[in-house]
Structure 1
Amino acid sequence: MISKPIPSFVQFILLLFVNFLLLSCNSKPKSSKITDQKLTIKAKSTSDFKISLAQWSLHRAFKDGSLDPMDFPKIAASYGIYSIELVNSFYLKKVNDKTYWKTFKQRCDENKVSVGIIMCDRLGNLRNPNVKERIKTVENHYAWIDIAKYLGAHSIRVNATGKGNADEVALNAIDGLNKLSKYASEKDINIIVENHGGNSSNGKWLASIIKQVDKKNVGTLPDFGNFCLKRDSDKNCLSEYDRYKGISELTPFAKGISAKSYDFDKKGNETKIDFLRMMKIVKNSGYKGYIGIEYEGNSLSEPEGIIATKTLLEMVFTELE
């Protein structure tokens, strides 16, 4: 783990204090007051990496209505972050609303924010053993590919995991990805698979899937944290794949990176994940592009967690230069 104190530590504390003040603005439904004040300076970047913000980092606020999904471009910009990753489940009722997406795109343009990825859930599973249902799942993704194209995104993230015999799940997932990639290629959109539970949290298994699909527009979205292979009834992880091995196996096919974070020590390091070690793996793989903040912890508020993750990534970027 990195042992150096976070640069500009006083600034970091001040930023967290600002967020405590802003939290009171989030109690009213659909409030966007958090977007009315700059929280921090523009995110640092390197010649290889830039920082993006995954919408899931604020999933509690979007779910309880204290933040409006339409405001996400402005919210991201308030953190000094100018590329976003949408979660489609916050927009399911708007999937066919062209007026909504026109306005959303205008919000992006107004805040100089780009959309990189749309995370697609609740559309079925591409590894479904039932052929008709698998085809239906493929077709359910078409509208989100169209939205991704309209918004200028490069990829949609899909699910291709499931319980059962790993070889059988693999064959079904390969078929589903192949079918979906055909439509996506016509729109110049990538299909990316995240390690997202079940067999997909086995890096070797997922890398094998991508190799067998062998399409230029099919790749991975390696997530630093999603390597649990088995959970108990209380969702506690019973078996976990080696996260560093998994990232090494998945980054050669990466078209995005998800920097998952949960909690931080007094020096600003993530307590479960060695970010410097992870980013060295990412860099050595040859990946260049956005690193998406995805805070999923409970100790800090969502705004605090975003800032802590951003600060840590910026420190790691400095170490890598």
Structure 2
Amino acid sequence: MTQASSRRDFLKQTAAFSTGLAVSGWAGSLLANTALNQPLYKISLAQWSLHRALRGGKLDNLDFAKVTKEEFGINAVEYVNQFFKDKAEDKKYLAEMNQRAADVGVKNVLIMIDGEGALGDPDAKKRTQAIENHHKWVTAAKTLGCHSIRVNARSNGSYEEQQKLAADGLSRLTEFAKKYGINVLVENHGGLSSNGAWLAGVMKMVNMPECGTLPDFGNFVLDRKTGEQYDRYKGVKELMPYAKAVSAKTHDFDKDGNEINTDYVKMMKIVLDAGYHGYVGIEYEGKKLDEYAGIKASKKLLLKVREELTPEETADPCCGQEGYYVPQRRRMFRRRLFRR
């Protein structure tokens, strides 16, 4: 054997060995991270779903995590600041919230913030005050182990003026929040914020990875007086590229358990197509079913849709090993961005 041929053989063997390692590493990573081990999306419970019980004194904020786990079998919660408004800086109270959630194995996901001023207020002093009012909730979210606070982008003025004002307030708040590892999320929550194109434009202006959206399936009323609405599917599609949380709004259900206002299969396809596989928070606001029954119906629907949208798993022909499975969902995996 010549020296040249020996070198060629050595290079071929080395290349084959390296390729084998790459393939096995890719397969191992795929098995570890695809939906073979993880669901298409996780389910959390938004505290607003129980706002009547909380406001009526039938449920205490400190018991919310326990009720979520024991009554509904859900292990992640989204708080609303209205139900512990004066406790944002009460370390003892926040520690108790943490302990009670930990005791039942419940994860604190985020806090929804209302009543702290307009982040897009045309008055510069009021806008600054609103930003500062949110600071205590950023630190509270950090203490509770949440990944985000949800805020509103309320403003006044023309379409473009409101975009600039909201972007200013959000940018400044996000600069503060990112020091604590907390995201600032904006929900479509009335007025121009319920216009998907407007809010997506605000996100582009802010242009910070820590500032995102919390698309709500039902909050697309542009004018409560006239009843004018923005197309909810179009709106969610426009907001999903920036989403770090999702709100599954429900009101009423038909005899088959489907939400009568939103086609959940169509809506969840939009969510998944954007590469989102994080928490989808149940936010029941109906009146025909009581709050507990409405939450259970919402969870049942989300589970049914998740099962329907999850592709069947088949044996991978490349492996030749019995019982070695790789989901068919490869294209989805490649573009999947696992977000909290």
TM-score by length of 1: 0.84
Quick check: 1:209 aligned with 2:198? no
**In 2: Cα distance, 1:68 partner to 1:118 partner:** 16
- Give the percent of matched residue pairs that are identical in Structure 1 and Structure 2: 51
2:221 maps to amino acid: C
Counterpart for residue 125 of structure 2: 132
Counterpart for residue 160 of structure 2: 167
Q: Secondary structure at the match of 2:227?
A: strand
* Higher Rg of the two aligned structures: 2
Q: In the TM superposition, what whole-angstrom CA distance separates every residue of 1:4-27 from its partner, at most 9, and x where no partner exists?
A: xxxxxxxxxxxxxxxxxxxxxxxx
2:309 maps to amino acid: L
**In 2: Cα distance, 1:188 partner to 1:48 partner:** 25
**In 1: Cα distance, 2:245 partner to 2:193 partner:** 16
| Residues 131-210 of structure 1 mapped to structure 2, 5 A cutoff | 131-210=124-203
Q: In the TM superposition, what whole-angstrom CA distance separates every residue of 1:237-275 from its partner, at most 9, and x where no partner exists?
A: 620000000010001100000000000000000011101
**In 1: Cα distance, 2:280 partner to 2:214 partner:** 10
Tell me which of 273, 278, 289 is aligned to 2:262.
273
| Residues 287-298 of structure 1 mapped to structure 2, 5 A cutoff | 287-298=276-287
- Displacement of 1:168 after TM fit? 1.1
Q: In the TM superposition, what whole-angstrom CA distance separates every residue of 1:176-227 from its partner, at most 9, and x where no partner exists?
A: 0110011101000000000000000000000010011000100000000000
| Residues 97-116 of structure 1 mapped to structure 2, 5 A cutoff | 97-116=90-109
1:219–1:254: 8 Å Cα contact kept in structure 2?
yes
Moved over 2 A (4+): 45-48, 161-164
**In 2: Cα distance, 1:165 partner to 1:295 partner:** 33
1:154–1:190: 8 Å Cα contact kept in structure 2?
yes
- Displacement of 1:97 after TM fit? 1.4
Give the number of equivalent residue pairs: 273
Counterpart for residue 291 of structure 2: 302
Q: In the TM superposition, what whole-angstrom CA distance separates every residue of 1:116-159 from its partner, at most 9, and x where no partner exists?
A: 11000000010001111111111111111101111110000001
Q: Secondary structure at the match of 2:189?
A: coil
1:46–1:317: 8 Å Cα contact kept in structure 2?
no
Counterpart for residue 71 of structure 1: 63
Counterpart for residue 212 of structure 2: 219
- More contact order relative to length (CA 8 Å, sep ≥ 6): 1
**Higher mean C-alpha displacement, 162-171 vs 129-138:** 162-171
- Displacement of 1:47 after TM fit? 2.9
Quick check: 1:228 aligned with 2:217? no
Tell me which of 234, 238, 256 is aligned to 1:249.
238
1:161 maps to amino acid: R
2:302 maps to amino acid: L
Could you say if the C-alpha distance between residues 46 and 320 of structure 1 is closer, same or farther in structure 2, counting changes exceeding 3 Å?
A: farther
Counterpart for residue 41 of structure 1: none
Q: Secondary structure at the match of 1:51?
A: strand
1:70–1:104: 8 Å Cα contact kept in structure 2?
yes
- Displacement of 1:163 after TM fit? 4.4
- Displacement of 1:167 after TM fit? 1.1
**In 2: Cα distance, 1:186 partner to 1:46 partner:** 30
**In 1: Cα distance, 2:274 partner to 2:224 partner:** 30
Counterpart for residue 15 of structure 1: none
2:61 maps to amino acid: P
**In 2: Cα distance, 1:48 partner to 1:139 partner:** 37
**Higher mean C-alpha displacement, 91-100 vs 216-225:** 91-100
- Displacement of 1:95 after TM fit? 1.9
Q: In the TM superposition, what whole-angstrom CA distance separates every residue of 1:9-67 from its partner, at most 9, and x where no partner exists?
A: xxxxxxxxxxxxxxxxxxxxxxxxxxxxxxxxxxxx95331000000000011011111
Quick check: 1:61 aligned with 2:68? no
2:252 maps to amino acid: D
Q: Which 5+ residue runs of structure 2 have no aligned equivalent?
A: 1-36, 311-340
**In 2: Cα distance, 1:278 partner to 1:292 partner:** 14
Q: Secondary structure at the match of 1:193?
A: strand
- Displacement of 1:98 after TM fit? 1.1
